[in-house]
Amino acid sequence: MAGLARPQFVLFGSSIVQMSFSNGGWGAILADIYARKADIVLRGYSGWNSRRALQVLHQVFPKDAAVQPSLVVVYFGGNDSIHPHQTGLGPHVPLPEYVDNMTKIALHLKSLSDKTRVIFLTAPPVDEDLMNTTLGNVFDMVRTNEACGVYSQACMKLCDEIGVKGVDLWSSIQQTDNWKNCFTDGIHLSPQGSKVVVKEILKVIKEAEWEPSLDCRFMPVEFPEDSPYDMVGNDGKTINICNFDFNKTALWDY
């Protein structure tokens, strides 16, 4: 680990998290937005469900860690919602157990420190036609948009009950124009889909009354001091560009 300790934002979840730094992914976008302000830490595990996440929760987030995360963004639910396989194998988790698992995950994360904040992302929708075309010859699974919606609603209801911030991806993605363009294979996010995720996460952070604030506009910049080594402007004076947003403000409506 680098010597300087910035706030840590940990992304914890299944393939939508593991793949969030590729293909214009939402994890990479967050890392860009929070450059010099927070470290985006990836803990993504493709194919996992909430049951498997719970089994390693204390290893991924030990209570005795020297530094605890300032924010944990959690995504499980899509794989849980896959219909049960006739063999008894596979990622399906019954809805009551899913809710119980997510409750335990939330309570553990909130116990890490008084300043650890948690955001749950719900199961996004799926484009069933594209999914069956691209993945149907690989996986023997039944995954429906309707089931994703049921698990999404249960996740949001849980967030209200236990005081965790939630992002309803199932609804927000389907409210966008041409929402099926948000996916590369019917399940995983395209750059367009990742932008929806980032927009919704930033909206939650912006509206949350957290102290200290995790809004990138109000977080300190690492090494912000003026220097004679800064870039020189047309007037012959140095320009400190540590806070230049290079169109991020316009892109994310800040």
From the list 14, 81, 172, 194, the catalytic residue is 14
Whether the CA torsion 61, 64, 220, 119 is positive or negative: it is positive
113 is catalytic: no
Closest CA to 120 of 79, 71, 85, 82: 71
Q: How many CA atoms lie within 13 A of 33 on its CB side?
A: 26
From the list 20, 50, 81, 188, the catalytic residue is 188
253 is catalytic: no
CA angle 215, 192, 187 (to 5 degrees): 110
From the list 185, 190, 215, 230, the catalytic residue is 185
Closest CA to 39 of 47, 31, 48: 31
What are the DSSP calls for 17-81, one per residue?
Answer: HHTTTSSS-HHHHHHHHTTTT-EEEEEE-TT--HHHHHHHHHHHS-TT-SS--SEEEEE--TTTT
14 is catalytic: yes
Catalytic residues: 14, 185, 188
